[in-house]
Structure 1
Amino acid sequence: MTFQIILLISLIGLIAGILSGLVGVGGGIIIVPALVFFLGFSQYQAQGTSLGLLLLPVGIFAVINYYNKGYIDIKVVAIMSIAFIIGGYFGSKLSLILSQDVLRKIFAIVLFYTAFKMLEWDKWIFNLFKK
């Protein structure tokens, strides 16, 4: 692994960490596309690497900051964690039987839909047709 690759991987991790702590995103939204576009990872490799990163307690300090301010409900985290484990298992099984091209398209649709809703474009479009 060259110094340039190590630097790029570190930069991707740093940006994902900053955005994770800032707005709660990182793995799928930042790391997967960055690994695919900048390092030439396959969709499978990028998703697997992102999941491998999430399995380790990489966000512990961000969690501590939010917990100390009273913004984490442990019961919700516990329930969601169990559901995430089950969903992650079945999602990965499904992912590995789909082609990488189909996965990329699903991934792009999820990102687009999320951006669409977060920017409230759905309300803007609804108001356009309402007039």
Structure 2
Amino acid sequence: MIGFLIGFLAGGFGALVGLGGGVIMVPLLVSWARLDQHRAHGTSLMAVAGTALVGGVSYALGGSVDYVAAALLTVTAMMTARLGARYTQKLDARSLRRIFGSFLILTAFLLPFKKQLPHVAAGGAGALSWVVLLGAGGLAGFLSGLLGIGGGTVMVPALVLGAGEPQQLAQGTALMAMILPSLIGAYTHGRMGHIDRKIAPGLLLGIVVGAFSGGQVALGIPEGILRWIFAAVLLWTGLRYLRRR
């Protein structure tokens, strides 16, 4: 039941704002399920793949997935997800959290002013957006493997601010792009013994129920309001990364 509840909360929240749900899952797996940090990251990443699959399908049924952008994000994310998972125990996580937290806070302040950005007002960044998406995919894949998150905290801002896409379309695209990188990262964590197999079935069941519901709710929220919600989530997450010991 604990696994189901964690999965439901993380899946619903993750699909609602276009994240994999790892920012919710990792803390809850540590505090509620009493997993150590490494197993929490690995187990979370396995469940993130479920959130991405179910949530992505939910958005796709509503016509809110850019398949070309998803493919660009997926290509580079797949290359770096395994690397991030392998470096879980080697990198200075404290410094990385501070850099990542600062990035999230900066992005949170930029998102409400999306329409004032020059390239967005001009109708998009053209070929430059492809470069932005490839770079964002690589960074998202590495952070996904390293921190047990889905990578949506990087992918969604890149799609909204870099490619000028609407919020719902960006969230659906990011979820679709997370599926394969999350599976690769989870497989690597599994090889290192970082996945708790006892809690996994309940967690995945909760993910399926929560992610589909969250995706359907998101499709009915106006784009401007959804962007503000996403910005608030990024700000909260960024502050947590900066304050975490």
TM-score range, shorter-chain basis?
0.7 to 0.9
Corresponding residue of 2:235: 112
In the alignment, the residues of structure 1 paired with residue 137 and residue 154 of structure 2 have an alpha-carbon distance, to the nearest angstrom, of: 9
| 2:7 equivalent in structure 1 | none
Number of aligned residue pairs = 120
Please point out which of 62, 66, 69 is paired with 2:189.
66
Give the conservation status (yes or no) of the 8 Å contact 2:156–2:171: yes
Find out whether 1:19 has 2:112 as its counterpart.
no
Structure 1 stretch displaced more, 38-47 or 17-26: 17-26
Runs (5+) with no aligned partner, structure 2? 1-67, 69-125
Q: 1:51 aligns with which of 172, 175, 178?
A: 175
**C-alpha separation between the residues in 1 aligned to 2:176 and 2:160?**
16
One-letter amino acid of the counterpart of residue 100, structure 1? E
Distance 1:65 1:44, change over 3 A: same
1:59-103 deviations in whole A, cap 9, x for unaligned?
333222211222111232332222122111111121111111111
| CA distance in 2 between partners of 1:86 and 1:66 (Å) | 25
Distance (Å, rounded) in 1 between the aligned partners of 2:239 and 2:136: 24
CA drift at 1:3: 5.5
Mind listing any 5+ residue stretches in structure 1 that lack a counterpart? 122-131
Higher RCO (C-alpha under 8 Å, 6+ residues apart)? 2
Q: CA deviation at 1:39?
A: 0.6
User: Considering only CA atoms, is the larger Rg found in Structure 1 or Structure 2?
Assistant: 1
**In the alignment, is residue 29 of structure 1 matched against residue 153 of structure 2?**
yes
Instruction: Give the TM-score taking structure 2 as reference length.
Output: 0.44
Q: Which runs of 4+ in 1 moved over 3 A?
A: 1-7
Residues 120 and 12 (structure 1 numbering): CA distance in 2 closer, same or farther, change over 3 Å?
A: closer
- The Cα of 1:9 is off from its aligned counterpart by 2.2
> Relative to structure 1, is the Cα distance of residues 4 and 106 closer, same or farther in structure 2, using a 3 angstrom cutoff?
closer
Find the counterpart in structure 2 of residue 85 from structure 1.
208
